[in-house]
A = this chain, B = another copy of it.
């Protein structure tokens, strides 16, 4: 039952068995630090037989020493101590445990596999729900629950379920700098008790989640997962990154979470049948989340490209057209309008529009106005390569770019933006500032035109499939 997991995401008290007292840099401190950073409002009980105090909190010698009730335990005890902890938690009335510790079925060692089976059995016997082992657990900003000090406090619309802890962190961090926020994220690891289907069912009916993202290596119960996916795709967009699509990748899966990966053909068929949005890298996953979060629904696939430099424009055009978007020619009428305030030489007033000589704020406003009023166009994509700015022109350029961003927010057509992050430290800094500016304006930002073209195409294909061509115009060329 999906809604029965609600309690998992809103604990009022958390125990931290296995936390280290002596070394503040030890990895077992991660969870405490993260809870404090995100300002968890309930009680936090560090547990270590040594007792004492850390971060101003009393350390309890055992669960028994705690007088209050405990909803949730985040365990970093060694693998072999895990079964005993479940029993103690059962005795104390703890409702759920997240086992972060690795050293279970993913090792492939007989003893460790057995230990995990024991955990699963104990979960059934005691009624305690277990997340993991070998994972990072739950991030739920609304409940002030987090496993990384960097994660934002604001809640958002993306629900993310991931078999890998590292990939969960990676996706949340990459997405957060581009404005994406999460309702819940669950790193569930080896899934000895709660698994991908449990969490998927929950997110399907979670009103805070508008988009579901999945990183799956393998599933425990294929038929149940298929059913859960069917329900999920009916309710909201579901984006899937499947890890382990090659032979060796499958072997890596076994070593990572002890799961069976399933064949690529099976997954492909499933995605096509249910309209799951399939992505092939973490970067693409983030690009798609950015698109679903921020693009104002375009009416079709016709794109106006505002680029910088002629050579770049040619390559941009190829990228977009190769990915099924159309780059129609700029009509003579609009070209004449633009020529009224900018010289022809050095500009390419076709489409892509090379704006490199239009580096004055008022001219840029006029240009964006003219382009976004262009009937045939559904989306405006603005491409910015900060590294190409001549140092001398920086001030004017910065002003013009800022103006360009501002008018883009309210342009009559949806706007997507591309900023290539710099490699040189000073350029990287400049890019980051520009990215944050765009994010604050609510515009989708991509790091390359390849990514933008791909993500927009993925988004449009989804819209077309879901809403026929109501949502989008035909590719009219």
Interface residues of A (CB under 8 A from B): 24-25, 27, 30, 79, 101-103, 106-107, 109, 162-170, 173-174, 177, 215, 217, 241, 243-249, 251-253, 255-257, 281-283, 308-315, 317-322, 326-329, 344-346, 348-352, 385, 387-388, 390, 392-393, 421-425, 428-429, 432, 435, 448, 450, 477
Contacts and interface: CB of A to CB of B under 8 A. Distances in A.
Contacts of A322: 245-246
A311 B167 contact: yes
Contacts of A346: 102-103
A133 B166 CA distance: 52
Central interface residue in A166, A251, A314, by most chain B CB within 10 Å: A314
A314 B256 contact: yes
Contacts of A253: 314
A337 to B, nearest CB: 17
Contacts of A282: 315
A244 B281 contact: no
Contacts of A421: 421, 423, 428
Central interface residue in A27, A317, A322, by most chain B CB within 10 Å: A317
Contacts of A320: 248
A174 B248 contact: no
Nearest to A422: B428
A119 to B, nearest CB: 15
Nearest to A247: B321
A448 B328 CA distance: 33
A177 B423 contact: yes
Contact of A243 (B102, B314, B345): B314
Given A173-B387, A177-B423, A428-B422, A392 B310 contact: no
A27 to B, nearest CB: 7
Given A345-B107, A346-B103, A421-B423, A313 B252 contact: yes
15 contacts: A25-B393, A102-B345, A107-B345, A165-B309, A166-B311, A167-B312, A247-B477, A248-B329, A249-B314, A249-B315, A252-B352, A255-B349, A256-B311, A281-B319, A428-B428
Nearest to A424: B432
A344 B432 contact: no
A216 to B, nearest CB: 11
A311 B165 CA distance: 7
A414 B309 CA distance: 38
Given A282-B315, A310-B164, A328 B248 contact: yes
